[in-house]
Structure 1
Amino acid sequence: MLETTVVVIGGGATGMGTLRDLSMRGVPAILLEQGGIAHGTSSRFHGLLHSGCRYVVNDPESAHECIEENMILRRIGKGCVEVTEGFFVLTPKDDPNFVEPWLKGCDAAGIKVKEITPAEALKLEPNLAPDIQRVFRVPDSCVDGFRLVLHNRMSAERYGGRAYLYHKVEEIKQRNGAVCGVTARDLMTGELMEIACRVVVNAAGSWSGEVAAMAGLEAAITPDRGTLIVFNHRFTSRVINRLHPSSDGDIFVPHGSVTILGTTSMPTDRPDDTTPTYPEVTRLLEIGEPLFPQVHEYRILRAFAGTRPLYTPGGASGRKASRNFNVVDHAADGLDGMVSIFGGKLTTYRLMAERVTDDVCRRLKVTTPCRTAEEPLIEAPDPAVLARAAKLFPVRALNLMADRLGDDLTKTLQIAEVAAVASKNTKNTHITDFGGGNPLLCECEMVCLAEVECVARDPSTHSLTDIRLRTRLGMGTCQGTFCSLRSVASLVEHGIPLEFAPADSMCRFLQERWKGLRPVLWGQQAREMEFSRSVYAGILNLDGAMHEQNN
């Protein structure tokens, strides 16, 4: 039996942020997550770091929180944020009467907005529709949700926090009206883990209603499903928003080398309802056309979906539900030591974690103040370490790799250096082998073997998908068609086993990637998909294995 003071349930941004805050204040804590890193909502959104402008008219409190947290995250999470700015654009299909109340809302929330002419906007973003009416510059930015969760975990672990992935909570134990522990099952081994604790924090996002019910409590959580489209190239350098009341398909977000269009809003009764559909994709394209007239001609990389954990105590749903968050102490419901955090947005995750940690610390009589807004998630890499890495990794991807790896940069470099020494006298170096023994496995995202090997050796890594979420392996143009085979073969060669057999690991990875392609299979996309399928189903004789995975 393990013992700790606080158990946090849910390993998304809010849960990991809470683990970090508790650990920095000296409170012993363990986090339990049923999936891998950023398993739920924190990895299934458009990557927008909100300025708050989207909410200034109907949800001013959320707008104020967004702009404050936007500026904080730019400071503490530099490796996770790309500062792009954004445009709010009035098209001929939007109501011009909405502009004035929107501007007043921005001013009241403290959000700096500057109007520019359509001609100026078109010089900066030439792919925009030529008939746009008005354009306003706003402090929107982009954030990598996978990396944000990972870096919060790294920070928490530096202060003694412990995170267990693939551990699903099965029971919240109670004694005399108070929480006394939890039981979780290791989904990889089937073994049960008993943890004694004084407080349980329910930060399970769209699953938080189910966690509350496990403790005999009720929570007004409505999972709200949103579908998004990933385009193959970055046709805008800024976040582009429609200037109208929040609606479907009104935001384009540049993200690395791609652009994401989102999102829809549809209530669902399943927090894991994450399969996009063809009608949703075609509808998003139609809605996006007033901003980018050529949007139907852009190559689509994939579609994906996620669920928002909307807190709906008044019965509101969808766009009418507030994006604000609530901390609920369930002592008032008869269960002492149970605290839930509901609602909110990824942009405000740190504030949400601070508020729920404040509540826990008051209960525990801990007076250490919160420091999460001041201390960086990850320290800037040592220039000397980067200079060593430049000899073994592609230089133009060096900063990307350092941002991805965070605390694991030195460890990865050591793996590459050992491999370089071992292969010094061999002549079988690949054309993309940097420094010897460190071939480039994924050209789309510039991921080398040493990085894959470092992540694969982490005890919480069980699959190629786990590696993907930390390295972006397979998230580029080929969607894993080539790098999946290279990665599995390299791991086998280096004696690093995954949870499943090599062929099974590859099939599972490809099926997860191809799930996002099925709703967009037309034209050239369909032809490319058939080519990819033939590579694995025909040449490698994996047709039966892939069919089994598909079913």
Structure 2
Amino acid sequence: MIKTDVIIIGGGSTGCGIARDLALRGIPHCLIEKGDYAAGATGACHGLLHSGGRYAVSDPIAARECFDENMILRKIGEKCVEQTGGLFVRLPGDSKRYRDLFLRKCDEVGIPTEVLSSSKALELVPNLNPEIEEAIKVPDASIDPFRLCMLNMMTSRLHDNLILTRHRVTEIIKSHGRCIGVRTMHTVTGEIKEIYGNIIVNAAGAWSNLVARLAGCEVPITLSKGSLVITNHRLSDMVLNRLRPSSDGDIIVPNEAVCLAGTTSFAVEDPDKISVRAAEVDTIISEAGRMVPHFNQTRIIRAFSGVRPLIKSGKMDSREISRGFQIINHENGLYSIVGGKLTTYRLMAEKMVDVIMEAFNLKKECETAEKPLDGQEELSGYPLSKRLADMQNIICECELVNKKDVTRTILQTGTKHVGDIQHRTRLGMGPCQGGFCTFRALGMMHDMSVLTPEESLQGLREFLQRRFRGIRGVLWGDQLREEQLIEYIYLGIFAMEKKP
């Protein structure tokens, strides 16, 4: 039996942010995540650090929160934020009236803007559609959500708090009507743990209502699926937004050596049963191609989906639902925090911990807006230029991940999951999507006695299934030809078609 003060369910940006804030205020806690960090919406987003411009017209309160948090994250998370800047691009046929409204609302919110001529915009982003009317510059940026979560958890770890990844909450333990703990099961070994605490925080995102129901409670949320695609190289060094009301395929975000484009919006019932539709991929490529014509000929290496947990609303179009957040006190020791954005995760965590401190009758001010994230200097090979300094024993040619970084990650985490290495080093995130490097990493785990031969093969089979789910919607042209080569390697040379 494990005892602590606060139990956090969910290892996305909000849960990790809450853990960091609690650590800095001296509150013992345990974070529980059924997968790895950023396994939900956090890891399935485009990595856009919003300036607030996207919401200036439709949701000015959320827009102001985004702008303020953007400025804070640039300061405290300098090593995982790329200050790209952003452009809102007006194409022929796009409303000039909306352009004027956008500028006025940005000014009211306090978001700095600069109107650029088409020639100036093309100087900044040569791949832009040469027929653009104009562009408006805003302080958008790009952020790595995986590393953001890990840096927040570094603070929790440094303060000797308990972190349980790969543990699923199967039961919320109650006594006299009050939630006093949770029962978890390790997703691989099946080991059962009981953790007891004074307060339980439900930060499970799209799964928050499922968690709340374990305590006999409800969380009113709307689930909205969004799909994105990844290109095999950068098409822009700035974030690009279409200057119009939010719609499908109107954002392109540079991240490391690639670009992510999206997104779409479809209501769903079950966050575990989502997939990318072929029509979504076509729409994203077509709409992104209107801003950057070269997008139509660019190799797409992956398509994926995530689920946004939005505050329940009667609005039919989920794009019209506020991106604000809400803290729910279930009056039984369980709190739920829902809604929000990756950009506002720190603010959400601050408000949640303020509530916890009040419940404990303790007073200590939040420090997360001033203190830099711990562990930034130790980031493994980030950014890409850092990896160019050591080209010896490369394991992943696409992302220049070397053997030393993979070995260090295995030793530090003790993981048996190759995906955990991916999140911490970017192994397998390049054009081949792990096709030529994952088997090497699994071989290293076997050589280090982390995995048995049978576990290595099973891990490889599971990886290949996950990989195929991500690329099957983009199999044409060069991507299809490469996939045929990879198929031959695994089925022919490695004989992976044979059953164990």
Name the TM-score class by shorter chain.
Answer: over 0.9
In 1, the alpha carbon distance for the partners of 2:82 and 2:186 equals: 36
Two-structure CA RMSD over aligned residues (Å): 2.1
Question: How far apart, in 2, do the equivalents of 1:379 and 1:451 lie?
Answer: 15
- State the distance in 2 between where 1:3 and 1:317 align: 44
The gaps in structure 1 that reach 5 residues or longer are 387-392, 403-431
Give the partner amino acid of 2:372: P
Q: Distance in 2 between matches of 1:323 and 1:95?
A: 24
Q: TM-score, normalised by structure 2?
A: 0.96
Distance 1:395 1:515 in 2: 27
Q: 1:212 & 1:38 partners in 2: Cα distance?
A: 20
SS in 2 for 1:517: helix
| Cα offsets for 1:194-245 (capped at 9, x unmatched) | 1111100010000001111111111111221111010011010100000011
Q: Partners of 2:340 and 2:381 in 1: how far apart?
A: 39
State the match for 1:104 in structure 2: 104
Aligned 8 A contact 1:86 1:138 in 2: yes
Cα deviation, residue 314, structure 1: 4.1
Aligned to 1:420: none
Would the aligned equivalents of 1:250 and 1:287 in 2 still touch at CA under 8 Å?
A: yes
Q: Which residue of 2 aligns with 1:399?
A: 386
Q: Does 1:347 align with 2:349?
A: no
Moved more, 497-506 or 439-448: 497-506
Match in the other structure for 1:16 = 16
> Which residue matches 2:61?
61
Give distance in 2, aligned partners of 1:190 and 1:394.
34
8 Å contact from structure 1 (residues 202, 340) kept in 2: yes
8 Å contact 2:11–2:39 — kept in the other structure? yes
Q: How much does 1:293 deviate?
A: 1.8
Encode CA deviations 1:5-41: one digit per residue, 9 max, x unaligned: 1100000000010011111111110011011121111
Counterpart code for 1:523? G
The partner residue of 1:480 within 428, 431, 434 is 434
Distance 1:305 1:461 in 2: 25
Aligned in 2, Cα 1:232/1:219: closer, same or farther, shift over 3 Å? same
For 1:38 and 1:449, locate their aligned partners in 2 and report how far apart those are by CA, in whole Å: 24
The answer to whether the 8 Å contact 1:440/1:449 transfers is: yes
Equivalent AA in structure 2 for residue 19 of structure 1: A
Q: Which residue of 2 aligns with 1:417?
A: none
| Counterpart Cα distance in 1 of 2:382 and 2:479 | 32
Larger CA deviation: 506-515 vs 194-203: 506-515
* Cα shift at 1:126: 1.1
Structure 2 CA distance for aligned equivalents of residues 443 and 319 of structure 1: 39
Q: Which residue of structure 2 aligns with residue 185 of structure 1?
A: 185
Please name the residue that 1:428 is paired with: none
- Map of 2:410 onto structure 1: 456
Alpha-carbon offset, residue 263 of structure 1: 0.3
Q: What is the CA deviation profile of residues 120-141 of structure 1, one whole-angstrom value per residue up to 9, with x for unaligned ones?
A: 1111111111111121110000
**Cα offsets for 1:459-498 (capped at 9, x unmatched):** 4622111111111111112211211122222332333327
- 8 Å CA contact 1:40–1:306 kept in 2: the answer is yes
Deviation at 1:269, TM superposition (A): 0.6
Matched pairs, number:
500
| Alignment-derived partner of residue 194 in structure 1 | 194
Residue aligning to 1:421: none
Change (3 A) 1:226 1:535: same
Q: Which moves more between the two structures, 7-16 or 268-277?
A: 268-277
Q: Distance in 2 between matches of 1:104 and 1:163?
A: 46
CA deviations on 1:482-526 (whole Å, 9 max, x unpaired) are: 111222223323333279622222222222222211001112221
State the match for 2:459 in structure 1.
505
Question: Aligned partners of 1:57, 1:16: CA distance in 2, in Å?
Answer: 30
2:391 & 2:299 partners in 1: Cα distance? Answer: 30
Q: Are residues 521 and 351 of structure 1, via their aligned partners in 2, closer, same or farther at CA, if it must alter by over 3 Å?
A: same
Give the Cα–Cα distance (whole angstroms) in 1 for the partners of residues 485 and 388 of structure 2.
Answer: 30
| Higher mean C-alpha deviation, range 209-218 or range 448-457 | 448-457
Aligned-pair CA distance for 1:321: 1.0
Q: Which runs of 5+ in 2 are unaligned?
A: none
- Work out whether residues 11 and 39 of structure 1, in 8 Å CA contact, stay in contact via their aligned partners in 2: yes
Residue 323 of structure 1 contacts residue 344 of structure 1 at CA under 8 Å; is this kept in 2?
A: yes
Once the two structures are TM-superposed, the CA of residue 251 in structure 1 deviates from its matched residue by: 0.3
Indicate whether 1:377 and 2:331 are aligned: no
| 1:322 match | 322
TM-score by length of 1: 0.87
Match of 1:495 among 449, 452, 471: 449
Q: 1:140-159, aligned counterparts within 5 Å? A: 140-159=140-159
Q: Compute the displacement of 1:400 (Å).
A: 5.2
Q: What residue number does 2:256 align with?
A: 256
Choose which of 476, 486, 489 in structure 2 pairs with 1:535. Answer: 489
* Deviation of 1:252 (Å): 0.4
Q: Which residues in structure 2 correspond to 1:15-414 (within 5 Å)? A: 15-314=15-314, 317-331=317-331, 335=332, 337-379=333-375, 381=377, 399=386
Task: Give, in whole Å, the separation in 1 of the partners of 2:142 and 2:367.
Answer: 23
Q: Distance in 1 between matches of 2:158 and 2:481?
A: 48
Q: Is the 8 A contact 2:6 2:200 kept in 1?
A: yes
Question: In structure 2, do the counterparts of structure 1 residues 112 and 397 end up closer, same or farther at CA, with 3 Å as the change threshold?
Answer: closer
Do the aligned residues in 1 keep the contact of 2:207 with 2:271 (CA within 8 Å)?
yes
**Residues 274 and 304, structure 1, Cα contact 8 Å, conserved in 2:** no
User: CA 1:350/1:395 → structure 2, altered by over 3 Å: closer, same or farther?
Assistant: closer
Q: CA deviation at 1:380?
A: 5.3
Distance 1:2 1:484 in 2: 36
Residues 17, 152 of structure 2: 8 Å contact kept: yes
Q: CA 1:400–1:101 in structure 2 vs 1: closer, same or farther (change >3 Å)?
A: farther
CA distance 1:43–1:394, shift in 2 (3 Å):
closer
SS at match of 2:293: coil
Tell me if structure 1 keeps the 8 A contact 2:381–2:387.
no
Instruction: Indicate the residue corresponding to 1:525 in structure 2.
Output: 479
Residues 55 and 62 in structure 2, CA contact (< 8 A), matched pair in contact too? yes
1:191 and 1:502 map into 2 onto residues whose CA distance is: 21
Report the CA distance between 1:289 and its aligned residue: 2.3
Q: 1:458/1:48 Cα in 2 relative to 1: closer, same or farther (>3 Å)?
A: same
Partner SS for 1:457: helix
Shift of residue 174, structure 1, vs aligned partner = 2.0
Cα offset for 1:310? 0.9
Indicate if the aligned counterparts of 1:536 and 1:542 stay in contact, CA closer than 8 A.
Answer: yes
Partner Cα separation in structure 2 for residue 181 and residue 401 of structure 1: 47
Query: Partners in 2 of 1:395 and 1:450 — Cα distance?
Result: 14
